Amino acid sequence: MKILRIKAIAKKELIQIRRDPLSLAMAFLMPVLLLVIFGYAITLDVNKLSTIVYDADRSSMSRELAAELTASGYFEIVRSAEDPREIDAWLDAGKSRVALWIPVDFAKHVRAGEVAQLQVLVDGSDSNTATIALGYLSALLDIYTQRIGNRSARLLIEPRIRVWYNPELKSRNFIIPGLIAVIMMVIAALLTSLTFAREWERGTMEQLIATPVQAPELVLGKLIPYFLIGFIDMVISVVMAVVLFEVPLKGNVLILALISSVFLFGALGLGIVISIITKSQLVASQVSMVATFLPAFLLSGFMFAISNMPVALQFVSRIIPARYFVTVLKGIFLKGNSIKILAADAIFLLFFAMIVFAVANKKFKKKMV
C-alpha cells in the first residue's frame, strides 16, 4: 500500500462530502437528534403514577396514609372515590394505573396492634410499570408501618444498603451510554454504506478501476474521512451525555477515545462491506439499517438483559459488536474501569474491525461485472 494513493482517495472523498452539504449536516445532526429524542423518551423511572383511592375508613390515619403516597412523588392521587365501583371504571378507562381500597376499621385494627388489610389493584397491561409500582408501594407501606408502630421495638436485623456505580438509581445513567453505542453503530455503518454504491451508480467506478489504486488503498481512503466524522460525532455524543443528561464520566477519556476508535473502524468497515456487495445506495442504506439498528438495539444488552434471553439469542449476541461497546461505555462512564478490565471487549472489537476490513478487500474486485 502507498500512503500517497490513500491520501488521494481520502481527498477525493472529502471533496465529494463537501459538495453534499445536506448529507454532511445530517451526519452531524442525526446523532444529536437521536440522542435527544431517545435520551428523553426512553426511561425506566416511574413517577407520579395516577392513583385512585377509596377510603371507606375515613379516619385521620387513613388520610395520613393517602398523604404519604402523594408525598413520596411516586404516586399521584387523581381521584378520591365515593363508591368502590368507580375503581373498575377508572382502571378500565386507563385514567388510573393504581387503585387503593382502605377498608372500614383500618385505623381501629392498626391501633389495636392487629393486622390491617389493604386492597391494592394495579393495571398489569404494562408489566414493568406494574412491578415497579408494587415495589414502591410495598416499601412505602413498610416505612409507614414502622413509623406508626412501636418505636421501642428493636430490630433483629438492620440492613444497611449501598448502591454502587449508580447510587441514585437513575435509569438515564445506564441508558445513555448504551444509547451512544447503538446510535454510533447505526450512523457509522450508514455513512459508509453509500460510498462504493455511489461510485457504481454514478459510473465513476470505471475510472477508479482503471487507476493503479489497490483494494486496501481504496477502502482505507474512503474510510478515513468518515472515520473523522464519526469520531467528531462520538465526541459530541459524550459531551451531550455529560453536560445535557448529567451522566457521570468516571473513567479515563483516553481509554474511551482508543476503544471508540477501534469500534468506529469496525462499524465503518461493515458499512463499506454492505456498499460493495449491494452496489445500490437505496438497498445499501436499507440493509445497513436492518443489520445494525435491530441487533444493536435488541441484542446488545442496551435495553434487555442478555442473561434473560433464550440461549440461542445469547449465542447470536456474541457476534454483535455493539454488545461489547455497550459494556465498555457503561464500564467507563459509571464504574471507571481500567483497560485491564475492558481488555476482552476491546480485543473482540479489534478482531471485528480486522475481519470486516479483510472481507471488504476480498469482496472488492477491480473489474467490471
Examine the domain organization and report whether 38 and 53 are in the same domain. Answer: no
Q: CA dist 337 to 214, 342, 356, Å?
A: 40, 7, 28
Return the beta strands (E) in 103-189 as ranges: 119-122
Task: Output the pLDDT for position 140.
Answer: 86
Examine the domain organization and report whether 134 and 183 are in the same domain. Answer: no
Contacts 24+ apart (CB under 8 A), 135-139: 136/46, 136/49, 136/72, 136/74, 136/75, 137/69, 137/75, 137/98
The DSSP code for 122 is: E
Examine the domain organization and report whether 212 and 137 are in the same domain. Answer: no
**What pairs with residue 119 in β-bridges?**
101
Q: Is residue 55 part of a domain?
A: yes
**In terms of DSSP H, where are the helices of 42-126?**
60-72, 85-92, 106-111
Q: Is residue 369 part of a domain?
A: no
Examine the domain organization and report whether 185 and 211 are in the same domain. Answer: yes
pLDDT tens digits for 55-72?
A: 999 888 889 888 988 888
Please identify which residue in the block is written with the cell numbers 388489610. 117
Examine the domain organization and report whether 16 and 135 are in the same domain. Answer: no
pLDDT tens digits for 137-196?
A: 888 888 887 777 644 444 444 556 677 888 777 888 888 999 999 999 999 998 898 888
Which of 88, 118, 148 delimits the end of a domain? 148
Residue 253: partners with Cβ closer than 8 Å, 6 or more residues away: none
Cell digits for 198?
A: 455511489
Cell digits for 108?
A: 381501629
Q: Is residue 16 part of a domain?
A: yes
Q: What percent of the chain has pLDDT over 90?
A: 38
Instruction: Report whether 271 contacts 227 (CB < 8 A).
Output: no
The mean pLDDT value for 222-227 works out to 93
**What pairs with residue 99 in β-bridges?**
52, 121
Report d(CA 192, CA 16) in Å as an integer.
13
pLDDT band at 259 (very low <50, low <70, confident <90, very high): very high
Instruction: Report whether 115 contacts 147 (CB < 8 A).
Output: no
pLDDT tens digits for 309-344?
A: 899 999 999 999 999 999 999 999 999 999 999 999
Q: Is residue 114 part of a domain?
A: yes
Residue 185: partners with Cβ closer than 8 Å, 6 or more residues away: 263, 267, 292, 293, 296, 321, 322, 325
Which of 118, 148, 178 delimits the end of a domain? 148
Examine the domain organization and report whether 96 and 37 are in the same domain. Answer: no
Report d(CA 234, CA 219) in Å as an integer.
22
Examine the domain organization and report whether 240 and 184 are in the same domain. Answer: yes
DSSP H or E segment with residue 258 = helix 253-278
Examine the domain organization and report whether 59 and 34 are in the same domain. Answer: no
Q: What is the CATH number of the domain that holds 114?
A: 3.40.1710.10
Report d(CA 138, CA 349) in Å as an integer.
44
Number of folded domains in the chain? 2
Terminal C-alpha separation, the chain: 24
Report d(CA 101, CA 86) in Å as an integer.
11
**Residue 53, Cβ density class (10 Å: 0-12 exposed, 13-18 middle, ≥19 buried):** buried
* Nearest of 238, 244, 246 to residue 264 by alpha carbon: 238
Q: Is residue 158 part of a domain?
A: no
Task: Output the pLDDT for position 309.
Answer: 87
Of residues 109 and 226, the one with the higher pLDDT is 226
Instruction: Report whether 100 contacts 52 (CB < 8 A).
Output: yes
Residue 119: partners with Cβ closer than 8 Å, 6 or more residues away: 100, 101, 103
Angle, helix 281-299 to helix 253-278, in steps of 10 degrees: 140
Examine the domain organization and report whether 78 and 223 are in the same domain. Answer: no
Q: Is residue 161 part of a domain?
A: no
Most confident of 102-116, 301-315, 333-347: 333-347
Examine the domain organization and report whether 64 and 17 are in the same domain. Answer: no
Supply the range of the domain harboring residue 342.
3-42+170-363
Task: Output the pLDDT for position 161.
Answer: 63
Q: Give the 3-state secondary structure of residue 327.
A: helix
Report d(CA 231, CA 265) in Å as an integer.
10
Angle, helix 215-243 to helix 195-202, in steps of 10 degrees: 130
Q: Is residue 348 part of a domain?
A: yes
Examine the domain organization and report whether 230 and 321 are in the same domain. Answer: yes
**What pairs with residue 49 in β-bridges?**
75
Instruction: Report whether 174 contacts 166 (CB < 8 A).
Output: yes
Distance of CA 24 to the CA centre of its chain: 25
DSSP H or E segment with residue 289 = helix 281-299
Q: Is residue 25 part of a domain?
A: yes
